[in-house]
Structure 1
Amino acid sequence: MNNTKIFKTSFASVYPYYILKAEKKGRTKAEVDEIIFWLTGYNEESFQNQLDLKVDFETFFAQAPQMNPNVSKITGVICGYRVEEMEDKLMQQIRYLDKLVDELSKGKTMEKIFRQ
C-alpha cells in the first residue's frame, strides 16, 4: 500500500472529520482534543499552531512533543489492519489516532480510551 498521500495530507483538513464522527455519536470536540493531547503531548496552544500552519500528518507526528508511553496498549483492528502489528511507524501513529476516535464515538469512557 502506498501511504504517501495520507502522510502529505494536511492534518487540519482531516481534523474536522474526527470531530464530526465524535459529535454524530454525542461526543464533543473537547473530547477529541483531549485524545489528541493525550496521544501526542500537544497542548491547546501548540496544537492550534499545528492547525494554523496546516502541517501534514508526517510533520504533525514528527513534531509531537511526546507520544504517550501507553500507546503500546492500543490494540485492535482499524481499516482491516491490526494497529499493534503495523510496521510503518507513521501509519501506526495515524491509526492509533483513528482507533481512539473510533472508541470515543462507540461510547467508551475516557478512562478506557486512555488505558487507565
Structure 2
Amino acid sequence: MAPHKVYKMSVANVYPHYVKKAEKKGRTKEEVDEIIRWLTGYSQEELAQILEDGTDFETFFEKAPHLNPSRTLIKGVICGVRVEEIEEPTMREIRYLDKLIDELAKGKKMEKILRG
C-alpha cells in the first residue's frame, strides 16, 4: 500500500494553516508553536529550522527529540476518525497535532490542551 500523501507534505506548507486557524479564533502563533514543542520536544530554534528546510511530516515525527508521553491522552474525532483508534503510528502523530490545533481554535485553555 502506498504511503499517505500527507507524510511527504512539508510541515512548512501546513504550518501557516494551523496559525491561521488559531488566529481566526483569537489565538496566537506562539500558542501553536507551544503545542508543537510540547507534542514533539523540538525547541523553538529547531522548529524554525524545520520550517525553513521544508521537512516532511514523516521525517518531522521520526526525528522528534521527545514525543510527549501524555499525547496518548488526546482523544476525540478529527477528520471523522477517532484519534485513539488510528493504528498507523505516523498518521496518529499527525492527527494528534491536528486535534490539538482544533482544541486551540475552539478556545480550550492551554493547560487542558497540553494535558496538564
In structure 2, runs of 5+ residues without a counterpart are none
Q: Point out 4+ residue stretches in structure 1 off by more than 4 angstroms.
A: none
Counterpart for residue 105 of structure 1: 105
**How many equivalent residue pairs?**
116
Q: Spell out, residue by residue over 1:37-82, the C-alpha distance to the aligned partner (whole angstroms, 9 max, x if none).
A: 0000001111111111101100111111010010110000000111
CA apart distance, 1:2: 5.9
RMSD over equivalenced CA pairs, Å = 1.2
Q: Kindly tell me: are residues 2 and 80 of structure 1, through their superposed partners in 2, closer, same or farther at Cα, counting changes over 3 Å?
A: farther
- CA distance in 1 between counterparts of 2:66 and 2:110 reads 19
Which residue in the other structure is 2:96 paired with?
A: 96
The structural deviation recorded for 1:33 is 0.2
Letter aligned with residue 102 of structure 1 = D
Give the fraction of aligned pairs with identical amino acids, expressed as a percent. Answer: 61
Matches within 5 A, 1:29-44: 29-44=29-44
Structure 1 equivalent of residue 23 of structure 2 = 23
Q: 1:58 — aligned with what? A: 58
Task: For structure 1, list consecutive stretches of 5 or more residues without a partner in the other structure.
Answer: none
Q: In structure 1, what is the equivalent of residue 13 of structure 2?
A: 13
